[in-house]
Each structure stands twice: as C-alpha cells, then as structure tokens.
Structure 1
Amino acid sequence: MAGVQAGAPSPIGRLGEPLLRKLSDLLDRAVPGRGWRALADLAVSHGRVRLSRMELEQCSLQVLEPDGSPSRSLLQLLAERGCSVLDLRELLQALEHKEALQCLSPPSIRIVVEPESQAAFSGQAVKLNCLAIGHPALHYQWFKQEKEISHGNSPELVFDPINPDDSGFYICRVNSGFSFSFSQWAQLTVCDLQTACPGSSLDLPEKTLYICTHPQSQNLIVGETLVLQCGAVGTPAPKYQWFKNESPLANGDKKAYVISYVDVEHQGAYWCRVYNDQEVQASKKAEVTVGGKSIAVECTEEDLTSIGGPAGLMEQSTERHFAVDKVALLMGNMSYCRHPKLKAPLMDVYELTNLLRQLDFKVVSLLDLTEPEMRNAVDEFLLLLDKGVYGLLYYAGHGYENYGNSFMVPIDAPNPYRAANCLCVQNILKRMQAKETGLNVFLLDMCRKRNEYDNTILILDALKVTANIVFGYATCQGAEAFEIQQSELANGIFMKFLKERLLEDKKITVLLDGVAEDMGKCHLTKGKQALEIRSSLSEKRALTDPIQQTETSAEALARNLQWAKAHELPESMCLEFTCGVQIQLGFAAEFSNVMIVYTRIVKKPPEITVCKAYVTDFPLDLDVDPKESNKGTPEETGSYLLSKDLPQHCLYTRITSLQKLKEDLTFTVCLHYEYTGIDDVVDERKLVNIGKPLIAKLRIHQGFRKDSCFQRCCAPYGPCLSQAPVAGAAKHCPPSSQHLLPHPYMGFCQLSPAQTGNTKQPLKCHCGVTPDRLMAWQSPWMHPCSSYPSNVPVETTDDMSEELGSHLSGSLRF
C-alpha cells in the first residue's frame, strides 16, 4: 500500500479506504493520550478546527454501532473542515503516534548491509555491522532479543572481548524521524575456548573456519541412539552437512546428527563438512559399529503353550502399568478465515480438559490456531514428552485424509488447502515415538474424506515397531463427523459419547470399543458416522494408570516447569484511585489461550453518587472488540463455560488468542464518577501490566521451521507442489490469484430436516454440492491485517436425554 508524502497538500478525504481504515483502527486502539480523543483535543488547541462537545460525543457513541469507529467519525469531521494530510501528520507527530505516522509516511530507509550470524571463541573481538541509507538523519539502536543494548547506538556493535553470555539473537533498528526499519536477525554463538580446546591459545584471523568439536567413534547395539556432534567457529557463521562414508545424509544440516534407533545398516564412517562463504573444512571421521543384532530364539512346543496358556494370560491381566507422567495437547479450531466456522470444538476441548485433569494429565488446551501456532504448539508438547510418559493429542476442527495420512487444518489455511498448509498427524506420531513414550493416544474429531485438491503423497520414515499407539478416529475413512448444537453450545457426536466413558478404569482400546458401541446405538448417525479404532497396543495400558516416578529426574522437573509456565495466571489485585474508590481486578482461565478479566467496585466513598469502571486499551495483537468487553454476564462476552465459577456482580471481558501476544499484556482501567450535586463526570485511569499470562509465555506465535523429514511427490496427473518454506519464515497468504479456486465444503456436514424427522425438505449433504454452487457459501477471503512493526522489536455438561435430531448440525469436520 502506497503511503502519502510528508508535504502532500491533499485533503484527508482523498486518502484511500484501506489507509483510512488502518488509521482509524490504530487510533481506536491507542493507549491513553494517543487515541482519537487526544487527536481531537490537539486539533482544537492548535486552531486547526472547531469541534463541539456534541460532535465529540457523537464520535464516542460510534462504538455502540456494529461497525462504528470513533476515529473514523473524527477523521470525517476533520476532512469536512478542510484539514489536509499535512495537518494530520503534524498532529500525529505531536501525539508521537509512530505507527499512525508510519501509515502516512512509509520508511525512506534502506538497509544495505545486514548483520551476519557468527560463531566465535570467547576472548575474540567480534563485530556486527548494519548500514542503512535514507534521510534526513539516521539513528541506530541494537537489540538483544527484545532488550535494548545501552551502548548499541552506532552501525557497528562491537564485542571486545566476546564471552559466552553474549550468545543470542541480535537485531538493529534504524530510525529516521518517525520512520524506522529493522535489519535481519543475526545469531552470535560463543564457544568457551578452554572447554573446547583445553590449554589452547588461538588467535584466529577474520573469515577463518576452525572446527573445535569433532565427532567421536562409537560402538552401539541395535536399538540404541546414535548422537554425533561437530562444532566450529568462524565468520560468517559455519554451516554443516553430515556424510556417511561419501554420501550426504538427509536432514544432516545441523551441528548434531541423531539416529534414535540404530541398526546394523547404520554402521560406517561418519564425518561432517563445515563451510561458509569463505572456506570449507572436513571434520575427522568417526567409525560407528553396531552389534547385538537380534537372533531367533529356539523354544519347544511346551514353551509356546505356556506363553499363550491361561496362566500366562492370568499373569498379564493382573499386571498394573504405570506412567512416568501424563501430558495432553488439545486443539480446537472454529473461527476459520476462509472456510465454514464451527461450534463444537469449544465445548469439546473444554469438557475433555476437565476430564483429563481428573486423570492427572497436564493439559494444554488451545483454540483457533494458525499454521505456525499449531506447529509451535506441537513442538512445545513434544518437549513435555519423555521415556515412559503418556502422551495424548486431541484435535477437533476441519481435516481430511489422503493416502493413509491424516491432516489437521489451521484456521488460516488457504482455499483450497493442501498438505503444505496443514499438519500431518503421522509425522507428529513419528516424533512422539522418538521420545520413547509409554503410550501415544490420538483422538481425531474431524472428517476423513479425500481432499480432491491435494494429490500430495508424503513419504515418511518408517515408524518404530512399538506396542504403544492408539488412534481413535471420530469417523471412518472417507466419511464425515457431525456435531450437536444446543443453544450457543455444541458437542461433536464423538465427544458426546466419549465423555461418558473417559474416566472408566479400562484398557484404552476397550474404553474406545465401548464408545464405538454407544455411537452405533444412535440411530441418527447410523450409516453416516462410526468410530474407527486403530491400535498396536499389546499391554493393558489405560488413561487411569497411576503416575509413578522412582526419582525426581531433571527431565521431570523441566517438564513440570514448562507446563506450569504455560498456565500461570496473574494474581488478583486491588486498585485504589485518588478519589478513594477501590476496584478489584481478577482473572480466570477458560483455556490455555483464553482468559476472563473481571472487575468489581469494592469500595466507594459516600460523596460519590455515580461510579462506573471498565477496562480498555488492550494490545493490538489480541484484537479485543470493545463492543464485546465489560459485559454484565460472562455469556455476553462469548464465555458460556465459566459462569458458575466466576464471582457475580462484575463486569467481564474475554481475551482470546493469548498465543499472539508479543509483549507484556497491558491495559487501562478507567473510572468514571460523579460527586453529589455536581453534574460533571470525573475520569481517572490506571495502566495495568500483568506480564504474559498463560500460553503467552511460550511465544508460539513466532515463525516456525517446517519439518523436512518427509519428501513430497505428486500422484499421476496431479498438480505438482513446490517445496515448503524453510527455516524461520512464518506462513503468509498465497497470491490472490489462488483465491478463486473452488473448494469442497470442508467443515461439519449438516443433517437436513429429512434426516432429523422433518420431511418437508429433501436429504442434502453440503459435501456433494458442485464447486460453482459452493462459491456463494464460502466466507470472503480475508487477508489477516499485516500490522505495522512495533517500535520495540470446572466441567459443564449438557442434558442430551432429549431427541438429538433437532440439534444435529452438519458442519462436517473435513
């Protein structure tokens, strides 16, 4: 989007619609002193325009309109009174509203020299360079992660000498007036010289590679894990490629090369090629031998009989298994940008969370995740797994199945979507197995129909032969999954029956068999949806198995800390205002990324007659709608699940998508009050900072690296897919030319009135409608608003005893 030149005399009314909308949004959500009201006060005080109190009140009342914007109304008034873009820019400069100025004046800054990642020994002198051109004057500020470096105010950031504490990611911000631009990130890796090379004293010339850690030869037995490491220093930062004998290894581009389960075929000489733009070096070769190959066991017929006999069965049936720990990741996607929205995942994830907590699971429950957020959530989930841990992954939302692989669809998936836009469940299973988990349970509440727009075939590495995998599919291959709607709440058919049995002390496959039988008795879904169970479980493992740890290991402590980190709520606080009014501010977690903020006046001096308090000015990342905030009941905010657990007589605000929070969560508590006999309303405000609550601490909004452990090839006559983006880049919307491609209705299919007993209309399934017809049903393609860069880098159940027919809704999760 083109900006407006600083001195342009054009009136405000000639600004483009997208730019006006962006300006209005920024001013509506600005912190106190930089919003639309402050802009109006400045315009009046500077003599630019005259605005009456009635006109400002009319602007303020726009917040009550469905699409109303006080700032947009003010900008219209300024335009009608002849204000130019130059006048507006000067007012915004006085407000120091940098993001709004960035809209009107795009950066005239171009970074010509980017900082380079480097690896160095402690004690060396290291420089990071950033050089930009622009006008009028350029100012530099270096950051380490998000923290300003006090001495980093020049194009060069010098470390002389550098030490291990300097390791980390660095970025430079270049300012020119109110315009700014960021450099690319550069990583510094600092190796302790005495640790890597005891007794050495190296003075390495610039642009030289030096391998300080060589891979070591190893003797292993079948089934053990091979870990080879190579470390180097140099500028630019070294890159790595592992070889076995003379053949390059797939996925061998890291410092460490790992094979989680070795066999005799992995024997050989391993070495690493280390290189950068200046030089190439080879590490020493490490000989890896693998012995202890399994051999056949001779046994008599008597031995075989005793193994399978009643005594053996009796011994097995009395054995009780234990879990080292239990962790679960629950993801429910509903608010799709380009596909039909769903209702059931809200209730399904909430109820399953409460049930699993009763079974001592550490549960992470998340709603409405984008592709990078889903991938990062899975990465965090895998960090909680370890040998002997029970891992459970539940997903409710749109999905499909191609060539035996199941795919979960993020809320930002394009239309049509393909494997590159979704998460492959089988790939996650492979990564879970590498953790040597005691039990892997996948509960997939989604459709499993074929995606005709995706001919991708994923070639995954072979899974381990283990006896700890259980898949519970909400429906059979090629079929849909249904949800039940009741008022504002909904359940998926699968969860409706699963929640009745989940606490039973039975082997997990036996429990799921019972769920399948219950679903089979529901005449409304016969022939439409049936539970499918796949399992390699040979032991009597159950979700009710107790947790038993022989000792408190470092892994267990880290796991507990990581989970607690993602579920830390701010403490309740009492705010006291100058007038003597006290306000209680409390917080409750609905999901791991959804929080309720509630306020209540607990003390009011007698001389104050009218007193109102509300919260506002939430960060732009969270997209909190003022019209849905400060409501008299939780239900009015969209929270139907915590009503009985929250204190009464409060004002409630529901904050969703906490995973998107980039900085501390700050907001303003506003107090309006009147004294006896005085008509004027007095305002007081307090800024509150509650840090990063719940899942926000894990920063799963950041860019991701797509797994490269599988290859893609196309089916005959199918469309060929380009390779997925590589390290560090977050997914963006595809070009607009792709928006027009038709796509089948991928949600929960609805059962028509004919299926629920009403014969006035014929049976119809949305999945069978032709693509041309579907185009009219689809949501408009909405690009997520690209925000301008910041200047600093209890269980509830529903009574389903009544006939289910009238509540069956078709959005099929497929």
Structure 2
Amino acid sequence: MSEPVRSTPGSLPLSRLAEPLLRRLSELLDRAAPGKGWRDLAQRAGSRGRVRLSPLDLEQCSLKVLEPEGSPSWSLLKLLGDRGCTVVELVEFLQALEHTEALQCLSHSGIKIVVQPDSQAVLSGQVVKLCCWATGHPFVHYQWFKQEKEVPHGNSPELVLNPVNVNDSGFYICRVNSESSFVFSRWARLEVCDLQGTSHGSLIGLPENKLRICIQPQPQNLTVGDALVLECGAVGNPIPHYQWFRNGFPLANGSKNVYMVTYADVEHQGTYWCHVFNDREDQDSKKIEVIIEDLSDLQKPDLQEQSNHRPVGLLYYAGHGYENYGNSFMVPIDAPNPYRSANCLCVQNILKLMQEKETGLNVFLLDMCRKRNEYDDTILILDALKVTANIVFGYATCQGAEAFEIQQSGLANGIFMKFLKDRLLEDKKITVLLDEVAEDMGKCHLTKGKQALEIRSSLSEKRALTDPIQQTASSAESLARNLQWAKAHELPESMYLEFKCGVQIQLGFAAEFSNVMIIYTRIVKKPPEIVVCRAYVTDFALDLDVDPKEANKGTPEETGSYLVSKDLPKHCLYTRLSSLQKLREHLIFTVCLHYEYPGIEDTMDERKEVNVGKPLIAKLGLHHGFKNNNCVQTCCMANNPFHNQIESSPVAAKYYVPSHCQPNSCPGTYHPNRICSDSIRQPETCSCNGTSRVLPSRHEVLNYSPPVEKSNVPVETTDDTVELEFLLSDNLRFSEQQ
C-alpha cells in the first residue's frame, strides 16, 4: 500500500464533494463489514488532533437510523466536512480501514482531460511534443509513461522529446492525479522513421504534421523461394495508415508499412505500390516492379514443365450429405426439410467444372454420410464427364453408411478428418496416403463395422498433396478469389460508445468462422455515483441465427463458442452471431445500458443503435447469387469461396478499397490435433435421412478427452491500441497502488 498523502493548505475540503458522491460513500459505510463502518471511520478521524469528535457527536450520528431516510455515515461525513476535514485525509482514513470500495469511489472524481495526446509518425532528429491538458480542483499533477515505465522528468502537461530517435518509438500515456483521484489519458503511438543518414530532401521545410512518404519501396529481382520484403515509410499527424497494392488490387495482408512474403513464387511478381493515408490526406508511393524467376524450369523437359504447370483441383467438404443412384449430394445448412437434389450441390457437377479447367489432379475428400435420401426420388441426367486420369475420391464412409464425428467441449472433428490430418503433409502418393488413413481408421475400435474409408481413383501418375502448385501469375481470376477470401475474414474494428450518463462501453468483435462472429461488450468507465451498470446487445436482424437465451452471457462457452474463448478478453458479456452469409443488409443492432443511482428504485436505461456494416462473409453478398435453388445452377457458379460448404456468389469485375478504409483481414482455419482414446464410448446410429429436423447433424457425437493444444483461429487483429490500452492501464493502476 502506498504511503498516505499529507494534507496541504490547498487540499480539497470534504464539504466540496458532490452530493451524489457523498451519498454513495454513505451507503458503502452504512453497510460495511465490521472494522470498516462509520464508527471505525469516526475513531480514525477522532485520533487526529485537528478533527475532534465527542461522544455526543457520535450519538447524534447513531440516532439518524431512526429517521426514514436517515444515514449515520451521511451525518458523520457532513460533520467531518464542517470541521475542515479534507478529501486527502478521508482517503488516508479509508486506506487505514482498507475500505477498497470507498477508495475506488473517490478515485474517479474531479478530473477532466481536455486535450488528449495524438499518435504521430515523425523523422528521427525532429522535436516531438506530446500534450495532455486536464482540469481538476484545486490543481492536478502529471506523470508520463512509455509502455509501463515512467518517463524520467515526464511530469508536465507537455512531454518534449528533443531530438527524437528510433528508440523513442512506442506507446505513451499520461496519468493525471489530483489530491484524491487519478485518470489516464488515451494511448498515443509514436513511430520514428530513421533515414539512416540519408538526406531528408523534399521533406525539409514542410508544414508541421504534413503527411509525406519518406521511404519509397524499391524494385526487386528474386528467384522462387526468396523472401519478398517491401518497405514504405511515412511521417504525419494523425498517424499514417498503409495499404499495399499489386497490379491494381489491394493485398489482403498489406496493411502494414512493411509487406513481406516469406516464400515468393512467380504468382507474386507484378507492379507494387503503397497507398498511405490518414484522416486528412493521402498519397501513393512510387510504383515498382517485382520480378521472380523460376530457375527450376530451366532444368525441366518440356513435357514435365507442361504437366507441372497444370493446376490442381481440391475439394474438402465436411457436413451433411447423402447419395442417391450413384450421385453424391452436399446439403447446405439452410436447406429445407425435407430436402431434395434441387436444394443441394452435386459432387459430380463440381468435378465437371474442374475438368473444364484442365486440372492436372482432382482430389475430393468428402467427410459426409452416404445413406440414401428417402425423400428424393429424382434421377438426375448429368452431362457425361470427360475421360481423364488423375481423379481421386476419398469418401469418409462406404455407400449406404453413416459418417461419425467426435465431440468434446463443443469441438468436433469427423473420424475421417481426425486420422487424415495426421498424415496430410506426408510426401506420398495421394492414394498411398489415403490407404494408410484407411488402415488407421480400421484400428479404431469405435467405428469397426460402422464406418470405413472408401477410395476411388484413376490416378495414372505419381501425384501427392505436397506437389508444388503452379498458377498463372497474377491472373485476374486468382486475384479476385484471393480478395474474396480476404474480404470474408474482415472484422469490424473495436469501438467505444459514450452514453449521456457518463458510462463508456467498449464494443469488440472476434471471428469463430467466416460466418460466425462473437460480439463482446465491456464497461470501461463508470461515474462513481452510478451503483449498478450493465450493457447488453439486442435487436438483431431476423436473417441471423441468434438465440436470445444464449446471448449476453458471462463466458463465451455459455453462448456455444469454444474455439476462440481463450483469445477473447475477460470480464465481458458475449454474444454469438451465426449464419452471417444470410445477412442481406448492414448489421445493425442496439446496445442497451441499464444503470441505477443510489436511493432511486427505478432503473435508468439508454440505447444506442450501432451499424458495423457487413462483417466477415456477409461482405460477399452470397444471397445475391441464389435465384432458382437447383443443383445445376448452384454448382455451376465459378470462383466461389468455400467454407465448410459450397456457396455461390457473383464475381465482381473490379474491387476497390477507399482511401479511408484499412482492410483488417485475419484468415485462418482451425486444425486441432486429436488422438483416439480407449475411453470413447461406442457410437450409435446416425440419423441422416433428413427427417429428424431442419438442420440434421452429419455425424453421431462421440465424447472423449483430447490433449490441450493451440489452435489457429481467425481473431480480431488490428493496428489500434485498444487491447494494449486496457492491459497497460491495468498494470499502471496496479503499480501505482503498490
């Protein structure tokens, strides 16, 4: 605990505290535990020579309990204020009583920051000034921090770094103290650009805070396998943001000042430049050429070269399915009940599209049931497939049988995928690899006699999943697909909501899948006169699958979300939104705030409407691609992003990111490692005929206990300082109390 702060002539009198704050303190003292109540406070105060309390004074305070609205603590505080007790002295008394609630109540009063420090990017050698101005009675003190460390001599409203150097880069914050309270400024990020002795050139004489590019990207001549590193540096206030472009298309992971590809291939060559912008202006870097040469092609015969340059088609599907008359069908999650072939995607039609692309290898890994659909008697007459080699089907189960999955703590894998992923990266012929997966599955006692891997192959060459994939360099079609994938993983940025009552709420977002988003709310500032405060989200579009009973929960697991729970901030309320692919308009919802004042029975509430645009896969507008919901049409939509099921969407002719937007993509997939355990119970029959419910499960659920391990889950990753702010602010508050 810190040493008590001694009273000074300028200390704030206790009588000057606002009445709601005094009421709140009175309530806390009236219902305090033994040793922390108003009598104990009176005893501490009476031990001071300047503040004397007689037995009659204490009796008068005690008699207040006989009055309808009477409070002994209120009477004592008023009495202490009349006799000259200061806020600093009251803090000392409460510290001695270890009354933390009352101390916290006092710690947020009386200070208002009127000028916040700005984030900025500057050149090494310049003079940098960070400003934080605050008001408070009777006066305030300042202390600057860099990260969690105090800045030496940083105890004035202006922190001057003269001259600034690269070691000064980082996050800065200012703590403002009055006699009895403290608040923190917002975080300011300082980026220092070092030109390493080169001339500043055209930067000399520029107006202060002007946005200018000081480091230009340089042309690159590389070979396949080299690392591609492009750098662009800029100065300005507000701090600049970056977006890299290649051949006119924004790059999904190009929102930093350095763009890097660890293993460059021929598809990465092209014309690059960087768009730099802030809230006031924008500027483009010079355009440079990146050339990547494949030296291995010089040593290959023509026939082999042609073969290696033929693309590979790979389809992995995990979900509900069935097989009628030799045709396999994948069932969308929003298919009607009962569903028929017109509502589903036909695997054979997808193979036909792959053949039209003249793919060198087509692999289908289908983790689904293959029972007959009794409600579908349609016999499809499909166009004849080309007679081509190198087609491999890996079915999770035999014709007419179910496929099963394992589930524990809400995390599920099909039995097929459980064993397949253990061998997925082995450099073996694809049929050999699948044979070994089949043998692994055959050793699992859980599925003996119930599920067996079936392999169909017309492989005429030694092909493996580890073969290098050669694509047409920077083709418009490839770029469009990549951009679609990036857009399907863009999250809304965290935001703060200010309510009229003075409460501030953080609204954050995380992705579980490209069509499943978690919204979390956290109260980050609450006036001391408010005793109860709760915020929750509601009023979601009917397109989404949101169960009100599972919304605004204290843990992610209560909402049904397990994959990202360990990556989310704590002490929030969580809501899980699924089926984002159905969202037709912007995602608009309401944040409701309920709060109470002491002595008032009625609960107050405020509401704010929030529009976060179209998050994740909703950006692609998939619903626009569905007209007649039949197998042939939905299968023939080209260039579709896949995520657990095939979905169709129109391919836009041009993509453009406005200068004021910074793409925030976080692509990723979940690949847990699991082992087969003898403790798993035997599976039961899986109901896969579509009669049990609208969205039937594809597998029977098995329980087991896998080892704990890391996952690669798409979560919110931005350049803002929200999470760092809370982390460092908490540490600074803690360190100040030591």
Q: Give the TM-score normalised by structure 1.
A: 0.39
Larger Rg: 2
